[in-house]
Structure 1
Amino acid sequence: CSPASFITKSTSWPTFSTTSSILAGCTLPSDINLIKESLAISRLTGLKPERITASGVSSIMRLISDGRIHPARIEDVVEKVGQEVDLVIKEAGEQAAFDLGVHGINHELIKYLGRLKFRTSYAQNVLQHSVEVGFLSGIMASELGLNSKLARRMGLLHDIGKAIDHEVEGPHAIIGSNLAKKFGENSKVVHAIAAHHEDVPPNSVYALLVQASDSLSGARPGARKELLENYIKRLEDLENIANSFKGVANTYAIQAGRELRVIVESNIISDEESVLLSRDIVRKIEESLTFPGQIKVTVIRETRSVEYANK
């Protein structure tokens, strides 16, 4: 009878006990060591012609006991994987800079940039967002006759502080500006990073371009994930604010909540009052809601005069 004739009946953790039955017609094998080796167990008990009970240490415990898993090995694997991740981070930073045509960034700053590959903001990958902001800043700078390379550099590095905002206290814009200054970026780049959330007042056109590009990339529909319920509620809240004012007939939140169109009753609201109403709605939105970028409020007042010509 071969060792394959033995059928496992039960196991337990961390050691196991196996009861095996010899198939009909088999006799007890004389080579006990062959049975142990075939079943990967260390002990046989109950050696009877009709039944053998085998027990031994679990497979994981065997790996630990024979030295294949031990502290030194764990340290080696962790170090190896850490080196692989560092390489991925470095390559990600270099690729982002290459895609934008940005050169001369300190190699340590490139590593911080690459870290953003593993950082998200509302499910939007921060490195991809930074590349988008770089492209948008460069395009707008080119249209305005400014230095597009400088604008792309600012856009690419604007969120660099998010690479270490879990290690350093403070707003990520200020953290990023300090990091950029430490690694030799010029004062214009440092300022644009610090000012992109207005933690410091922007004092250049470039800083304003980075702000605009940041809003375009982060606030565009689909860039950042949100629950459908939250999205619908945000639109309803926006419409309800306008509906709370006297003389409002209908409201429509359009462009994913980036614009609110308000239709008023012409017999209740005059043209002059329409201007005041739009300002009041804007003020209440700013006080009541939290939102990125800006929301455009358009008040529409229509007067119709209908006459019929008869003969």
Structure 2
Amino acid sequence: MDSTSILIGAIAGLIIGFVVAKFLEKGKASKTTANAKKEAEDILKTATKEAEDIKKDKIFQAKEKFLELKAEHEKVIVGKNKKINESEKRTRDKESQVSSELAKSKKLNQDLEGKLKDVAYRTEIFEKKQAEVDKLHKNQVQQLEVISGLSAEDAKEQLMESLKETARTDAMGFIQNTVEEAKLTAEQEARKIVINTIQRIGTEEAVENCVSVFNLESDDVKGRIIGREGRNIRALEAATGVEIIVDDTPEAIILSCFDSVRREVARLSLHKLVTDGRIHPARVEEIVKKTEKQIEQEIVEVGKRTVIDLGIHGLHPELIRAVGRMKYRSSYGQNLLQHSREVAKLCGVMAAELGLNPKLAKRAGLLHDIGKVPNTEAEVETPHAILGMQWAEKYGEKPDVCNAIGAHHDEIEMKTLISPIVQVCDAISGARPGARRQVLDSYIQRLKDLEDIAFGFGGVQKAYAIQAGRELRVIVESEKVSDDKAAELSFEISQKIQTDMTYPGQVKVTVIRETRAVNVAK
């Protein structure tokens, strides 16, 4: 419509121009008029055509817009219808659920009404019976008053007096138990203080008997002993059960273990490895096994030299081996072999003075403590005097010697004159100044008890008490113990130690599980 107005305006302008030109150019009126008419007609045709085209375009655009708005409107209507259908469905579901809940509620109400009726009936019966009971109780009280000649108040006062006496007695017993418990607690606390004090004071003695120093040519060897990521030193500790301490001490490594046999095996193995120069886990295990065999041979040699020095003949090989093992055992801090040699010599001298057989007395004196070097852990529970007597009987010793071994701590009755001689000489050897330190023996026994607790669990292959009893290192069989079970086993062992043992400080339980795949190429 705007284009038509413009066109009409243009036409009007042209006509006005034409009229003005007509008045201005009268001389050229006819020719100009004809040209103007022709131009006006052309312009009019062109304007009319353009106006029609513009009109058609506008009508087409209007139809497209109308169709687009109609489609959007229909889409909105479809969406709203869909939402309405969904809302109607949810409403129907809710109505169904509400109907179901109402049915359940109706049923529950019916059940409740039935139970309320039942309760009311029972309450009525109970009230009736309660009334009967009260009536019977009142009659019995009246009868008791008649029989006893006391009123209910008098009987109540007598009962209260008797209860007061009973309560007073119970209170005194409770006070006494509390006082005794307090005394016991005080004694336990005092013992803890004493134990802690002994532990601190006994450090030097424990170090002296539980630590060996391995000297090195240079500190460069320490790195080879430790190995890559510490695998060499871990392999050596696992194979020997000895804690190897590598610190800033120049040209020295400390071997710590309460068992002198293990410590000696570790020392000799380390010496062979350093001398040979080949240090790796497989070589470590090989050298440790060879060293253990060497120590066993050395034990036999020590036993043979001892019996030869004392002039004792015809001793069974197992007893000779037991004598050799005494070199690596201590009794209250006193070396067991030195103690037994002292007792044997004293017995020989005393028997000679009394006119008895000195050789037999020496034999009994040397063997009197062989029960302290048991072959198996199961034998530890038996008193060492009885165990030594059983060994002597098993390996053909004379009855006099067996009786002297079993009776030197009054475990059995003394039947020969040699028995009191062995007992007296044992006391003389142990009682001399500086001979024994009881703290060390209890310390070593505590470490052995730690290891025994670990062996009481299934799947445990090795157990070593290290770091002066502050850590228990347990090596388990990978086939029998999984990773989860290893963590559980560590907790169970720590709880067992906490329940069954008395110890200062803390004990760290480390469970080690490793898997090895071994094949042989032939």
User: What is the TM-score normalised by the length of structure 2?
Assistant: 0.30
> Which structure shows the higher helix fraction?
2
Which structure is higher in strand share? 1
Larger Rg: 2
TM-score (normalizing by structure 1): 0.49
